[in-house]
A and B are shown apart, each in its own frame.
Chain A
Amino acid sequence: QSGLNQPPSASGTPGQRVTISCSGSSSNVGFNPVNWYQQLPGTAPKLLIYKNDQRPSGVPDRFSGSKSGTSASLAISGLQSEDEAEYFCATWDASLNGHVVFGGGTKLTVL
C-alpha cells in the first residue's frame, strides 16, 4: 500500500505564504476527499482541513486547502512561529478493499 507523496520539508519566514503539496493517484486523491492534520512537536495530530478545503471551527483562516485531480495542497498565509509543525495529508484509497493512506509528512520550519 503506497502512501501519498509530500515534500519532507518546507520553510518560510514570518508573514510569508507557504504551500505544501500532496500527490497521489486516481484511486485515492483523485477519487476521495483529502484531509490535512497538523502535529505540533510532542503532541498528537490534530485535524486542520477536511473534505479538501473545509476548516474545523477554531482553525484560523490563514490555513486553506485545495485539490485538483490527483494532487492536493495546503496553504498557510501570514506564517507564524506557532505554525512550525509537521503536516500530513490523508485520504481513503479505493484499491485493495479500501484503506486510509497518509502522506509521509512535511516538516515546516519558520525561519
Chain B
Amino acid sequence: QLQLQESGPGLVKPSGSLSLTCTVSGGPTSISGDFWAWIRQPPGRGLEWIGSVSYHGVTYYNTSLESRLSISGDTSKNQFSLEMTSVTAADTAVYYCARGTGSHFISYTWFDPWGRGTLVVVTS
C-alpha cells in the first residue's frame, strides 16, 4: 500500500525558509507517474493547496504563494520536496503531502493517499 511521509524541521524562524521532503514508499507506484502535491492546514482552519509537481517536472503553484515557492521531485529517491522562502507566522500549519491521481490531466485528479502531516511553526 502506497505510503507518504513528510519530513523536515518543525521550527522555522521568521523571514527564513521552510524545506520539507515527502518520501513515497510501498505499492507499485513511484513518483515517475501521477502528480505530487503539498497541502497545508493552519491550526483550527481549513485546507489550502500549496502546489503540485507532475511526474515529468511540470509545476503548478497557488498563485498567492507562487513567488515564494519551489516544488520539485527526485525520482531516484522517490521523493518530492517543498521549499518556501520568506516565511511568516501566517505560514504556521500542518503540512501534508499527497498523491494527485486518476488522470493525466491535473484538473481531473484527486488526492489519495495523504501523508500523516508535519507541523511547522514559524517562530523566533
Binds B, one of A10-18, A67-75, A90-98: A90-98
Stretch at the interface among B11-19, B25-33, B76-84, B108-116: B108-116
Using known A-B contacts A1-B64, A44-B114, A44-B115, determine if residue A98 contacts B106 with beta carbons closer than 8 Å. Answer: yes
B63 touches A102 (CB 8 A): no
Complex CA distance for A57 and B24, rounded to whole angstroms: 21
For residue A35, which residues in chain B have a CB less than 8 angstroms away from its CB?
110-111
B60 within 8 A of A: yes
Q: Does A45 lie within 8 Å of B47, measured CB to CB?
A: yes
Q: Name the A residues within 8 Å of B114 (CB-CB).
A: 44-46
Among B49, B60, B111, point to the contact of A101 (Cβ < 8 A): B49
Q: Say whether A97 contacts B63, CB under 8 Å.
A: yes
Given known pairs A1-B62, A97-B63, A98-B60, the reply for A104 and B46 (CB within 8 Å) is yes
Give the chain A neighbours of B74 by CB distance below 8 A. none
Q: Mask for B95-114, Cβ within 8 A of A = 1, else 0?
A: 01000001000111111111
A88 proximity list for chain B (CB < 8 A): 46-47
Question: Considering the chains assembled together, what is the distance between the CA atoms of A45 and B62 in angstroms?
Answer: 20
Closest to B102 in A: A50
